[in-house]
Amino acid sequence: MSIISEVLVTFINILDYAILIRCIMSWFPISRDNPFYKLMYSITEPILGPVRNMVARSPIGGSMRMLDFSPIIAMLLLSGIEQVVISMLH
């Protein structure tokens, strides 16, 4: 594997873990002023925000307001991007 693909895989893995950590953090009463919360928010929101908006504008978005599926969709998109880029580099 080339260095570029290794860096990409590592970056996407970090984003995946950050999204997972943010999801788990949402289950607990953690202050939004917490530095770790702010770090996870700043890492993940540039990905989750657009995905959340895309889901909200979809035809089924209005009926799914109780559950936020944007982390799952974002992780699937990241995995797809990873596979496409890696296949292009090889």
pLDDT tens for 23-71 read: 999 999 999 999 999 999 999 999 999 998 888 877 665 655 667 889 9
> Which stretch of DSSP H or E encloses residue 12?
helix 3-25
pTM to 2 decimal places: 0.84
pLDDT of residue 90: 72
